[in-house]
């Protein structure tokens, strides 16, 4: 046992202190709460991924959509939790990484002239899966541990389980960031996504006055939860990171309608044949 955590049970518990969100028609968590809880109508709307002003100018020029998307939601979650990012360990998860960068590398390597098959060092280091974690550490001068994961369409649920485990083990807050960007053609034929999407959560084993929800996680074999509204379920399936939407909808309903006395249970896509059961209080 460490940090007050008890791993003797077959389930884990942690608290959501804040959420950052950016997706089509969901420009931030405050707006998303109203939409997901049914108070405001949802309408799909494409969006531009903002520039990241928290990076030094040299690094800012080098980053692509993947890094900008991850850092945008991460900064939103940290600001909402009123926690210094310098003090947060992180878990980054993504099903795909930076597709634009991979496409450029593949195109270079496929060149018929050997002399043209030159890949710049910047292009190479931006291609690794933990590139967003590296830029996050630079932006926030954070030297605390960081984990980068990939589990295909289960990436969000795997990241949530990992972040919850670390929060319990250390007794400290931790930042989870899940993000996926659309692949360019021809990679999009192999790995189609119809939107960019990212979510971030600050988690802690202990609650504070502003905590949004308590999550109880365990492995299960029930089918993943689908969303009642067709538009939401299409969005959920449009991007692996959007698999978080059933969980976010329950949190939004709890927060705006005081359903806190009624636990809500959902199942997130996990590594087959399992799903991740999440009870929200």
- pLDDT (tens digit, 9 = 90+) per residue, 195-229? 999 999 999 999 998 899 999 999 999 999 999 99
Question: Is residue 8 over pLDDT 90?
Answer: no
Judged against a pLDDT cut of 90, whether residue 163 lies above it is answered with: yes
Instruction: Tell me the pLDDT tens digit for each residue of 18-31.
Output: 999 999 999 999 99
Rounded CA separation 280/252 (Å): 11
What value, to the nearest 5°, has the Cα angle with vertex 47 and ends 250 and 45?
65
| Model confidence pLDDT, tens digit, residues 124-161 | 888 899 999 999 999 999 999 999 999 999 999 999 99
- pLDDT of residue 7 exceeding 60, the answer is no
Measured CA distances, 219 to 37, 70, 74, 266, 278 (Å): 26, 27, 27, 12, 9
**E strand or H helix at 20:** strand 12-22
Maximum pairwise Cα distance, the chain: 66
CA atoms of 14 and 168, how far apart (whole Å): 7
How many CA atoms does the CB half-sphere of 133 hold within 13 Å?
A: 22
Instruction: Give the pLDDT score at 114.
Output: 84
Picking from 23, 74, 97, 94, the residue whose alpha carbon sits closest to that of residue 202 is 74
Q: Taking each helix axis from N to C terminus, what angle separates 230-238 and 245-257, rounded to the nearest 10 degrees?
A: 130
Q: What is the pLDDT of residues 89-138, one digit of tens each?
A: 999 999 988 999 999 999 999 988 888 888 888 888 888 999 999 999 99
Instruction: Give alpha helix (H) positions in the chain.
Output: 29-36, 57-62, 65-81, 99-109, 121-125, 131-140, 155-170, 187-190, 230-238, 245-257
In tens, the pLDDT along 257-274 reads 755 555 589 999 999 999
pLDDT at 191 (0 to 100): 93
Bond before 273 cis per omega within 30 degrees: yes
Residue 97: its pLDDT value, please?
85
Token pair belonging to 160: 């949530």
Pairing state of beta strands 89-93 and 12-22? unpaired
Residue 193 has pLDDT above 70, yes or no: yes
Distance in angstroms (rounded) separating the CA atoms of residues 197 and 213: 22
Instruction: Say what the pLDDT of residue 3 is.
Output: 47
- Summarize pLDDT for 228-240 with one digit per residue, the tens: 999 999 999 999 9
* pLDDT confidence band for 4 (50 / 70 / 90): very low
The pLDDT-based confidence of 1 (bands split at 50, 70, 90) is very low
Residue 19: strand pairing partners: 201
More confident of the two residues 239 and 8: 239
Strand arrangement of the beta sheet that strand 213-220 belongs to? 146-149, 89-93, 174-180, 197-204, 12-22, 213-220, 275-280, 264-269
Phi, psi of 174 (to 5 degrees): -140, 150
User: Are the C-beta atoms of 139 and 131 separated by less than 8 Å?
Assistant: no
Residue 44: both structure tokens together: 């799909």
Q: What is the pLDDT of residue 258?
A: 58
What's the sign of the alpha-carbon dihedral 85, 89, 94, 97?
positive
Average pLDDT value for residue range 57-69: 92
Task: At 155, list the tokens.
Answer: 């990436």
Mean local confidence (pLDDT), 40-64: 92
Segment 34-59 shows an average pLDDT of 93
pLDDT-above-90 percentage for the chain: 80
What lies within 8 Å, CB to CB, of 34 at 6+ separation is 40, 252, 256
The pLDDT, as a whole number, for residue 115 is 84
């Amino acid at each position: 046992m460490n940090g007050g955590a008890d791993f003797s049970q077959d389930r884990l518990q942690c608290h959501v202190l804040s959420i950052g969100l950016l997706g089509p028609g969901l420009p931030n968590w405050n707006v998303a709460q109203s939409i997901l809880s049914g108070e405001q109508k949802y309408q799909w709307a494409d969006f531009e991924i903002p520039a990241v002003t928290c990076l030094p100018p040299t690094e800012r020029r080098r980053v692509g959509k993947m890094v900008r998307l991850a850092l945008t939601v991460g900064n939103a979650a940290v600001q909402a939790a009123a926690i210094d990012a310098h003090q947060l360990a992180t878990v980054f998860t993504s099903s795909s990484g930076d597709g634009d960068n991979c496409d450029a590398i593949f195109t270079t390597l496929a060149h018929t002239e050997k002399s043209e098959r030159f890949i710049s060092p910047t292009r190479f280091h931006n291609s690794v899966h933990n590139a967003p974690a590296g830029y996050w550490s630079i932006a926030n001068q954070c030297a605390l541990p960081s984990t980068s994961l990939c589990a295909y369409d289960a990436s969000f649920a795997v990241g949530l389980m990992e972040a919850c485990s670390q929060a319990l083990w250390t007794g400290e807050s931790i930042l989870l960031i899940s993000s996926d960007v659309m692949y360019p053609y021809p990679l999009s034929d192999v790995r189609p996504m119809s939107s960019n999407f990212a979510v971030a959560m600050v988690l802690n084993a202990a609650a504070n006055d502003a905590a949004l929800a308590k999550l109880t996680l365990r492995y299960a074999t029930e089918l993943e939860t689908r969303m009642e509204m067709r538009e939401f379920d299409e969005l959920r399936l449009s991007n692996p990171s959007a698999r978080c939407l059933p969980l976010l909808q329950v949190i939004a309903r709890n927060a705006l309608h005081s359903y806190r006395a009624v636990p809500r249970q959902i199942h997130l896509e996990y590594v087959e044949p399992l799903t991740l059961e999440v009870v929200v209080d």
